[in-house]
């Protein structure tokens, strides 16, 4: 709505006032909604942090050197890694993150990178 700056009628002022009040109500509800979402995120984050802090130092295994296992050269190593993926959630997550990190502009490029990392040419023959 355009209002002539020079002279404002009572109807125009009432319309402007109603629009401002309506906008304030919308802002108030939006801020309340964001506040509730932030509270949920903080709660989830603190819950995760407490779960992570409950892990004993003895249970922590460093999977940063996953490269030493790959590429897989034989079927027995493949079976061992498969068993570890099923039984060890931390290993599973570490390997999954490593594979996701390979990236690629297309699915074909991504699959090629994953296959090159995981398997030797001899195993795939």
Q: What is the DSSP string of 38-100?
A: HHHHHHHHHHHHHHHHTS-GGG----TTGGGG-SB-SHHHHHHHHHHHHH-HHHHHHHHHHHH
Q: What is the pLDDT of residues 58-80, one digit of tens each?
A: 455 555 556 567 888 888 888 98
- Summarize pLDDT for 19-28 with one digit per residue, the tens: 999 999 999 9
Domains of the chain: total: 2
71 and 108 assigned to the same domain: yes
Which residues constitute the domain of residue 16? 8-54
* Domain assignment of residue 88, yes or no: yes
Q: What percent of the chain lies above the pLDDT cut of 70? A: 81
- Residue-level pLDDT at 6: 67
Rounded CA-CA distance 45/124 in Å is: 43
Q: How far apart are CA 85 and CA 66, in angstroms?
A: 13
> In this predicted structure, what is the pLDDT of residue 104?
81
Residue 70 lies in a domain: yes
């Amino acid at each position: 709505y355009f209002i002539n700056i020079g002279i404002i009628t009572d109807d125009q002022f009432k319309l402007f006032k109603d629009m401002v009040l309506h906008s304030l109500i919308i802002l108030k509800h939006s801020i309340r909604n964001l506040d509730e979402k932030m509270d949920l995120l903080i709660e989830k984050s603190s819950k995760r942090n407490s779960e992570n802090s409950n892990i004993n130092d003895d249970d922590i295994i460093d999977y940063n050197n996953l490269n030493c296992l790959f590429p897989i050269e034989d079927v027995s190593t493949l079976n061992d890694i498969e068993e570890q993926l099923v039984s060890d959630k931390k290993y599973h997550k570490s390997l999954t993150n490593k594979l996701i990190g390979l990236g690629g502009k297309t699915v074909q490029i991504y699959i090629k990178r994953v296959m090159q990392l995981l398997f030797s040419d001899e195993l795939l023959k």
